[in-house]
Amino acid sequence: MTEPLKKVLGAQVRDLRLARHLSQEGLAEELGVSTRYLAGIERGERNLALDSVDALAEQLGVEARSLIIQP
| Confidence at residue 54, expressed as pLDDT on a 0 to 100 scale | 95
Q: Are 53 and 64 in contact (CB under 8 A)?
A: yes
Residue 50: pLDDT band (50, 70, 90) is very high
Q: What's the pTM value of the predicted model, to 2 decimals?
A: 0.90
State the Cα–Cα distance between residues 32 and 1, nearest whole angstrom.
Answer: 34
How many CA atoms does the CB half-sphere of 4 hold within 13 Å? 11
pLDDT above 70: residue 16: yes
Domain at 5-61, CATH from 2.40.50.1020, 1.10.260.40, 3.40.640.10, 3.30.310.50: 1.10.260.40
| Confidence at residue 3, expressed as pLDDT on a 0 to 100 scale | 83
Q: Are 62 and 27 in contact (CB under 8 A)?
A: no
Indicate the domain borders of the chain. Answer: 5-61
How many CA atoms does the CB half-sphere of 14 hold within 13 Å? 13
| Straight-line distance from the first to the last Cα atom of the chain, in angstroms, rounded to the nearest whole number | 15
